[in-house]
Amino acid sequence: MVGAHVLDRYSYFAAPDAERLHDLNAALRDERVDAIWCIRGGYGMMRILDAIDFDALRSRPRPVMGYSDVTALHAGVNRRAGTISYHSPVAREEITPFTRDSFTRAVIEDVDSCGVATDARVIRGGVAHGRLAGGNLSLLAALAGTPYMPELDGAILVLEDVNEALYRVDRMLTQLHLAGALRNVAGIAFGECTNCTADESPDDGREARTLDDVLREFADALHIPCITNIPLGHIDEHWTIPLGALATLDADALTLTVHPHGDR
């Protein structure tokens, strides 16, 4: 079943708010629909959060799947329905065997959908246990101060972004920190920051700052384990992460282990 307005275009939205909201609520209320899989991300999701029928999802939980700006919907699902949702590929993308395997394990089999992040880097060692939360950093920063900001106390925060300069990544993390959202985070697992421009070399000859430097400052200040470059984000091969499920981050071993959702 495809939403009635999925192919519409309206300015920088797929369709006017009312029409996109109609499609989403119709799917949430339809007994024949077993999952909601977003075609793509889009800023406009934030504009309809207040009118989404989260009660329908709470009364009949089903997978909600997607990533990037779909983070706003995941946040709403977490805060208003209290159910697990899936930071996953969107429905329009070509799915590689690696991505399909993680997606199947997360959504269908309810087993660990992550594991060893072979290309990851240790920012700060240690082990953390907690519920998975997060998604796109830009959307989390935009949700700060709203009723839809995910509860991050005791959480393993997973993050990704695209087309952001390093100073903006720094600024968004600082915003979350100043808002108190990071105060009790248990650990951070950062994915890809695709097409994120590096810092320009300072005129005084010092080395330019890197994303690792920025993450290390926050991880050290919060005294939490942190790794970066896990398979997550605007990339071809990425994990599906069940937001709201319990997990263990072992930064030294470069592993993120998702526990069965029955532990929720």
Active site residues: 68, 160, 234
From residue 241, how far is each of 2, 52, 74, 120, 180 by CA, in Å? 24, 23, 11, 16, 24
Q: Select 17-263's CATH number: 3.30.565.10, 3.30.1330.60, 3.50.30.60, 3.30.200.20.
A: 3.50.30.60
Could you give the 3-state DSSP secondary structure of residue 36? strand
- Given a contact cutoff of 8 angstroms between Cβ atoms, the answer to whether 214 and 169 are in contact is yes
pLDDT, residue 10, reads 64
Q: Rounded to 5 degrees, what are φ and ψ at 244? A: 110, -15
pLDDT, residue 185, reads 98
Global pTM value? 0.93
- Given a contact cutoff of 8 angstroms between Cβ atoms, the answer to whether 33 and 53 are in contact is no
User: What's the whole-number average pLDDT of the chain?
Assistant: 91
- Strand intervals (E) in 107-264: 115-116, 121-124, 127-136, 155-162, 187-194, 226-228, 241-243, 246-250, 255-258
Confidence of residue 204 (pLDDT cuts 50, 70, 90): low
* Domain ranges across the chain: 17-263
Q: Rounded to 5 degrees, what are φ and ψ at 46? A: -60, -35
For 13-51, how does the pLDDT look when each residue is reduced to its tens digit (9 = 90+)?
A: 777 889 889 999 999 999 999 999 998 777 789 999 999
> Helices in 94-194 by DSSP H: which ranges?
97-104, 137-143, 166-178
